[in-house]
Structure 1
C-alpha cells in the first residue's frame, strides 16, 4: 500500500474544566452550527505539535492548559490551497484548563472571523456530547465510547 503524503497537521484540545468540556460553537452563514475542539494548524514557528496546541488554545480562548496527554489521532483526506493532495493528521490531546480570559483572544479567528466562534461548556458525559454536533465525527464516536478511558488518561497512577 502506498503511503499518503501528510500535507497538514493540527493540534486540538479535548479540554476539560472539572466535569465539563470546553468547545467552540462555529456558526457560518448558510450552514447549521457545529462544535469543534480548540486548536488548529501546526505552523513552521511551532517547535512541536504540543507547542502549537498551547499557541492555538491561547489564541482561540485566551487560555492556558496543563496535564497535556496524547489521546486520539485522526487522519483525513486533505488538499492544500495550492492543490497539493494528501492527508491531514489531527492530533487530539486531553488537557485540563488552568486559566481562561476570553478578552485575551487573538489571531485570525478573532481578528478576521468567518462566522462566529462562541466558547461553550458542555457536561463531559454521553448526554452532553449527544447534545451538540461535535466534529469530526470520528472524535465524537471516540469520545462517546471512551469517556471513562479519556478521564483515566489523567489518573494519578499512570506514572
Structure 2
C-alpha cells in the first residue's frame, strides 16, 4: 500500500477571449520522461489558506496576473487525485476556478525553483485541441471540463 501525502490545492482555468485555456508543459523531476500539460495552480499554504486565496497567489506567481480572491468567484470544479511527483506520492483535494481574460502575456518570473526546473513552456489550448491531442493533460477530463465551463460561466472578463 502506498503512503500518500495529503495535500490541498487550487487551480485556475485561465481562459482567453477565444475560449482557449492556458496550460503549462512540464515533467516530473523523478521521472523526466513523464511529460504533461497542466493548469496554473498548486498547493495551499499551511495554516489555512483558502482555495480562492491560494488560486489568486498561484495565478500571480505563475502567470503574473494579479487578482483578489473575491475576483475569482466560486470554484467551478473539484476533485481528489492521487499522483507521484519528485518521488513523493500525493492525495490531492483540488478546486478549480475560472478566470476569463481578453488576452494575457504570461509572465513566469514568480516561478519557484521546482517550477523553473520542471516547467518547459506554455500554450493556449482550445477545446478541440484538447479533445484531439495524444499528449497527457491534467486534469484528465480537461476537454470536457473546459467545454462545460465555457457553456456555463459568464463571459465577463477580469480587468487586466
Alignment TM-score, normalising by the size of structure 2 = 0.69
Question: Which of 109, 112, 118 is the aligned partner of 1:105?
Answer: 109
In structure 2, the CA distance between the partners of 1:105 and 1:70, relative to structure 1 (3 Å rule), is: same
The structure whose Rg is larger is: 1
**Runs of 5+ in structure 1 lacking a partner?**
none
Secondary structure of 2:55's aligned partner: helix
In structure 1, what is the Cα distance between the partners aligned to 2:123 and 2:102? 16
In structure 2, what is the Cα distance between the partners aligned to 1:100 and 1:146? 18
* Equivalent residue, structure 1, for 2:78: 73
* Equivalent residue, structure 2, for 1:115: 118
In structure 1, what is the Cα distance between the partners aligned to 2:122 and 2:146? 23
Structure having the larger proportion of residues in strand: 1
Deviations 1:43-67 (A, max 9, x none): 0366421010011011111123555
Task: Calculate the aligned-residue CA RMSD, in Å.
Answer: 3.5
Q: 1:28 touches 1:116 (CA, 8 Å); kept in 2?
A: no
Alignment TM-score, normalising by the size of structure 1 = 0.69
In structure 2, the CA distance between the partners of 1:107 and 1:119, relative to structure 1 (3 Å rule), is: same
